[in-house]
């Protein structure tokens, strides 16, 4: 009797600035698995809605936008990371801004928008395996994942990391402003009614405060191998 083998999934959930994005990309590379950056999908929809001049609180219009927006991930090659193409436009740089993050967080609280992105996310589960980075990967999208990690770090540490990243890109930000934005976004993401930010019951919690990226990657790989 033959049966289709289950494609293994590692979910990495956590708040913004917990190091999720970098860790997920490195772990996916080490395992040779695919990567789903689900935050980029919400950012892309927020961006597309803004570009179309939609009112971000108009649930019907934003849901239609989520259903219709064409989002593609393209490898930039030579360690250049992944480019995100939204409706044919390379929006990678715009999607990284705090404005895009805030727009994503706002539209991500709409159940119909989340629903519109489910099939797209499930489609990333292809052999030999998937690393899924987000907020609800282990709780809602891939509840049957074999490996689940929840990364955290103090808000102060996350603000510091974000500050460094954004400063390196030449953006004009303040540490205090970033920490306030991070705390506001955390509380909105954690308190929303659908798919709130919370660890799956079977997730391994990793507090990355004071840890460097290599240590976190080693810890996450150990979870997969255990």
Report if residue 136 touches ligand DC, rule: CB under 6 A: yes
Which residues sit opposite 85 in a β-bridge? Answer: 72, 90
The window from 36-44, 54-62, 168-176, 212-220 that contacts ligand DC (CB under 6 A) reads 36-44
**Nearest approach, Cβ of residue 135 and ligand DC (Å):** 4
Check binding of 138 to ligand DC (CB under 6 A).
no
Taking the CA atoms of residue 146, residue 132, residue 215 and residue 169 in that order, the dihedral angle to the nearest 10 degrees is 180
Q: Which residue lies nearer to ligand DC by CB, 129 or 139?
A: 139
Binding ligand DC by CB under 6 A: which of 10, 12, 104, 151?
A: 104
Quick check: 16 binds ligand DC (CB under 6 A)? Answer: yes
Nearer to ligand DC, 194 or 204 (CB): 194
CA-CA distance, 62 to 107, in Å (whole number)? 7
H or E segment to which residue 187 belongs: helix 175-191
Determine if 181 is a binding residue for ligand DC (CB under 6 A): no
Could you give the CA distance from residue 196 to residue 204 in angstroms, rounded to a whole number?
18
* 39 binds ligand DC per the rule CB under 6 A: yes
Instruction: Determine the Cα–Cα distance for residues 104 and 78; give it in Å rounded to an integer.
Output: 29
Helix orientation angle between 175-191 and 98-107, rounded to the nearest 10 degrees: 10
With CB under 6 A as the contact rule, which of the stretches 25-33, 38-46, 145-153, 164-172 interacts with ligand DC? Answer: 38-46
Question: Can you spell out the DSSP letters for 113-145?
Answer: HHHHTHHHHHTT--TT-EEEEESSIIIII-TT-
What's the rounded Cα separation, in Å, for the pair 32 and 68?
Answer: 31
Among 11, 38, 139, 179, indicate the residue that binds ligand DC (CB under 6 A).
38
139 binds ligand DC (CB under 6 A): no
What is the Cα–Cα distance from 130 to 137, expressed in whole angstroms? Answer: 11
Q: Which of 136, 132, 135, 174 is nearest to 18 (CA)?
A: 135
Residue 110 lies near ligand DC (rule: CB under 6 A): no
162 near ligand DC, judged by CB under 6 A: no
Please give the structure tokens belonging to residue 148.
Answer: 């689940």
Binding letters toward ligand DC, positions 66-95, x by CB under 6 A: ------------------------------
Binding interface with ligand DC (CB under 6 A): 16, 38-39, 42-43, 101, 104-105, 108, 134-136, 185, 189
């Amino acid at each position: 009797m033959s049966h289709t083998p289950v494609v293994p999934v590692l979910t990495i959930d956590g708040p913004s600035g917990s190091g999720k994005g970098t860790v997920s990309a490195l772990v996916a590379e080490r395992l040779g698995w695919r990567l789903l950056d689900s935050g980029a999908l919400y950012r892309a929809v927020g961006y597309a809605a803004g570009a179309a001049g939609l009112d971000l609180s108009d649930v019907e219009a934003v849901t239609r936008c989520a259903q219709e927006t064409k989002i593609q991930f393209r490898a930039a090659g030579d360690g250049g990371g992944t480019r995100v193409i939204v409706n044919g436009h390379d929006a990678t740089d715009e999607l990284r801004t705090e404005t895009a993050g805030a727009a994503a967080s706002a539209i991500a609280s709409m159940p119909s928008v989340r629903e519109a992105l489910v099939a797209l996310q499930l489609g990333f589960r292809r052999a030999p395996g998937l690393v899924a980075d987000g907020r609800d990967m282990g709780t809602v999208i891939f509840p049957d994942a074999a490996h689940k990690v929840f990364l955290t770090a103090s808000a102060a540490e996350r603000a510091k990391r974000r500050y460094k990243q954004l400063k390196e890109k030449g953006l004009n930000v303040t540490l205090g402003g970033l920490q306030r934005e991070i705390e506001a976004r955390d509380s909105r993401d954690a308190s929303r009614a659908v798919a709130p930010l919370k660890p799956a019951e079977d997730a391994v919690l990793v507090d990355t405060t004071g840890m460097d990226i290599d240590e976190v990657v080693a810890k996450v790989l150990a979870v997969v191998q255990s």
